Structure 1
């Protein structure tokens, strides 16, 4: 995935849309309004996590630097 070059604005936007900015697996489990379990973010255990984050960062940089787009709405 490190060799993938982001050189198309549509592809860069798609990458930013599908790769979340934060780990989506962290959860709090509640029962009757009381938290009974907290599941920590497990993304760090995924061997591809760093590569996905790097790809999203390259896509954001491409949109901001090369295309001159406002990426503030993509950072959340």
Structure 2
């Protein structure tokens, strides 16, 4: 329910949320997710790892399930 409210608000203005909730993450599509990690003392932000996005697209896992299993990972260039 909260995810739906946030998505509706996002239609009217830019919305940025942070969460550790797998249930909330499940309400968003992989292309809407950005992963934030600290690497060598520098904060890096990027899209979800391609293999994780593909697993979600193939309905093998939900974003929340992947978060619970290994954690969501950022695509590195």
TM-score tier by shorter-chain length is under 0.3
TM-score normalised by L of structure 1: 0.25
